[in-house]
């Protein structure tokens, strides 16, 4: 039996069952051209990065570490589909992961192509895409993936593998419309820690719409009064200013509920 499971936002390590089927749910891509992971290597279209001995690396997600028993999963409720963070199809000894996008949840009018079509107006559907973001092979204890950015929410701590941004990428990031450089600060002086954060921030921003970029800049300003601004721009005068802005792009600031106090999450554990 094959199982399609859903990981919801804010549900700890719990996975919920979507479908149990004897049929194949997600098609397994061709994994014949693996490459050991290197942040400096750019994959060809038919290649996959691999991390072998994966469980010993402790990049956990609460599913692949356990003995699988399909009967132990609760069925997802109909009002929870919009909260899906990613999907996982368990097929034999493979776990196939697909990040959930808001574009996959459709609430438009639709009808099934039959001899007697019926218009559906209150039955939203989820589109299962062909692409796969990661595959975990239980037999060989190997993870296959294309991009760290797309799987960092699936495997806790895996963002530690993030590459260091190139000088061209640093220049490009510091040239964003919401950033201005102070008189004594140049892109050549950006240190390794911030270069890694810039690499992550670039991928994060690329996943945002223009409206979401505006929102995250406004959010960051509300938490970083110590970073000088000039109109709509952050004025980066020090490495610390840059670090604070990069933390904001990753939405690492939060406010406590009781006796509201603004805080910075020094590390992030997806729930």
Instruction: For the chain, give the percent of residues with pLDDT over 90.
Output: 51
Reported confidence tier of residue 270, pLDDT bands at 50, 70, 90 = low
- Rounded Cα distance between 163 and 170, Å, is 12
Instruction: For the chain, give the percent of residues with pLDDT over 70.
Output: 89
**Across 72-94, average pLDDT:** 89
Q: In the chain, what are the helix, strand and coil shares in percent, each to the nearest 5? A: 30, 25, 50
Model pLDDT, residue 143? 97
Model pLDDT, residue 50? 95
* Residue 256 neighbours by CB under 8 Å, 6+ apart: 263
Specify the higher pLDDT residue, 83 or 39. Answer: 83
Q: Are 73 and 11 in contact (CB under 8 A)?
A: no
**Across 15-30, average pLDDT:** 90
Which pTM does this prediction carry?
Answer: 0.62
SS3 68: coil
Reported as a single tens digit per residue, the pLDDT across 133-170 is: 999 999 999 999 998 888 988 998 887 787 788 899 99
DSSP 204: H
């Amino acid at each position: 039996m094959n199982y399609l499971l859903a990981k919801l936002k804010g549900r700890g390590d719990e996975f919920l069952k979507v479908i149990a089927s004897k049929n194949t749910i997600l098609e397994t891509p061709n994994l014949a051209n693996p490459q050991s992971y290197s942040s400096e290597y750019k994959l060809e279209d038919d290649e996959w990065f691999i991390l072998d001995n994966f469980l010993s690396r402790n990049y956990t997600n609460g599913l692949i570490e356990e003995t699988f028993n399909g009967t132990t999963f609760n069925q997802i409720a109909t009002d929870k589909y919009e909260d899906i963070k990613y999907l996982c199809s368990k097929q034999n000894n493979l776990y196939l992961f697909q990040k959930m996008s808001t574009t996959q949840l459709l609430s438009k009018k639709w009808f099934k192509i039959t001899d007697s079509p019926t218009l559906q107006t209150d039955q939203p559907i989820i589109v299962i895409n062909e692409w796969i973001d990661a595959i975990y092979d239980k037999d060989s204890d190997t993870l296959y993936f294309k991009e760290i950015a797309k799987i960092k929410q699936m495997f806790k701590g895996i963002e530690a593998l993030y590459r260091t941004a190139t000088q061209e990428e640093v220049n490009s990031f510091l040239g964003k419309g919401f950033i201005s450089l102070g008189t004594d600060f140049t892109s050549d002086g950006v240190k390794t820690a911030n270069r890694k954060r810039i690499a992550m921030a670039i991928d994060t921003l690329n996943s945002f719409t223009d409206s979401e970029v505006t929102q995250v800049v406004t959010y960051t300003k509300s938490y970083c009064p110590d970073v000088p601004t000039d109109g709509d721009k952050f004025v980066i005068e020090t490495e610390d200013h840059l670090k604070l802005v990069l933390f904001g792009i990753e939405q690492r600031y939060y406010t406590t509920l009781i006796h509201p106090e603004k805080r910075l999450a020094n590390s992030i554990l997806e729930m």
